[in-house]
Structure 1
């Protein structure tokens, strides 16, 4: 099981890096801005997921430190949001230059795989209660960055963050609050599930 999990983690990390590399090359070939490419939450979350999967593959389960458990939780939560938001808000929109296999990897496969990785190999030691609060900091900073940059450049990575598409900043605030609630609900569920699964393993 441990060997298969390590191989799966390495394989998924390689796959997502190949997908993002291919997508980046498509952007470059069409003269699109690199800053825009790396302003997508999907891209940033998948890059983080690849890093965390490699770190997890290189670390024996019994030696997992609290900082790595926090990173794994953060990654699982981000990827769960990526999958959910895409399915509910973006699935029927034009994804531009994104090839079909890249779309499937970034928006379908990776969210499921990273959440399963969290559930199949939960941290042996429960995370502190403030783990969820910590996990919300970077998404909040991402939102602030996106809105400030959008005001300066006129470009937004997602239509629901563009005031011109959702009836002003009130519409943006409504979407942001709903997604924030999703972070809290999913984060609480992931933490509770991991603790329950880890406890059941200890009882075997």
Structure 2
């Protein structure tokens, strides 16, 4: 019996990426679509979870429908994979026991568990051939900018997306210490994503599926 051809494998990878992207987009859209009038879109898109999942949808659709190549694309994949793993781990450790305003358990599961897992597998299997040595540091720009945005916007609108970055109940000192600890964890995670994506790259790295 003949094995699965390379072209068939490429097709299945594209199909699976596309399906995952559609599921993720559906989960992102579900909350505003089913919400009542006056839904706060600005607040909704101020969640790190939502922003990182938008990035994940771009990565998955790009890999499914196009054949993106080049260092910039691999860098973007790494940045989004890092952000999605931050989403999953922070949710599991700090947020799973509270209401994060995502209607239905299925949306929580998709956005905080399923899509991060898909991005991790995709990154581990289709590793970049090469990345700049300091990529893992630049990937931290997104959570850093997000933190500045949240702490700047929070006092203006009197709303913060997550308790650990909300100084109103715990004070700025306690919040700062907590955020520093979280950021140290993010740094280690980013370095881990870089290592996973480049390990063995000089021997036989997996390549992105190309059009047949």
TM over 0.5: yes
Q: Distance in 2 between matches of 1:51 and 1:202?
A: 23
Q: Distance in 1 between matches of 2:162 and 2:97?
A: 13
> What residue number does 2:141 align with?
137
**Bigger relative contact order, structure 1 or 2 (CA pairs below 8 A, ≥6 apart):** 2
Task: Give the CA RMSD over aligned residues.
Answer: 1.7
> What residue number does 2:24 align with?
16
Q: Distance in 2 between matches of 1:194 and 1:129?
A: 12
TM-score by length of 2: 0.87
Determine which of 163, 181, 203 is the counterpart of 2:184: 181
Q: Could you tell me which runs of 5 or more consecutive residues in structure 2 were left unpaired when the two chains were aligned.
A: 1-8, 207-212
1:83–1:111 CA contact under 8 A, matched in 2: yes
Aligned-residue offset at 1:200: 4.4
2:49–2:87 CA contact under 8 A, matched in 1: yes
> What residue number does 1:194 align with?
197
Structure (1 or 2) with the larger CA radius of gyration: 2
> What residue number does 2:14 align with?
6
1:81–1:183 CA contact under 8 A, matched in 2: yes
> What residue number does 1:119 align with?
124
Farther-moved stretch of structure 1 (64-73 vs 30-39): 30-39
Q: Distance in 2 between matches of 1:48 and 1:202?
A: 24
Count residues in correspondence. 198
TM-score by length of 1: 0.90
> Which structure carries more helix by proportion?
1
Aligned-residue offset at 1:30: 4.9
Q: Distance in 1 between matches of 2:79 and 2:108?
A: 22
State how 1:14-163 maps to structure 2 within 5 Å.
Answer: 14-27=22-35, 29-60=36-67, 64-124=69-129, 126-163=130-167
Q: Distance in 2 between matches of 1:97 and 1:10?
A: 23
Aligned-residue offset at 1:180: 1.3
Aligned-residue offset at 1:42: 0.1
1:77–1:186 CA contact under 8 A, matched in 2: yes
Aligned-residue offset at 1:95: 3.1
Q: Could you tell me which runs of 5 or more consecutive residues in structure 1 were left unpaired when the two chains were aligned.
A: none
> What residue number does 2:6 align with?
none
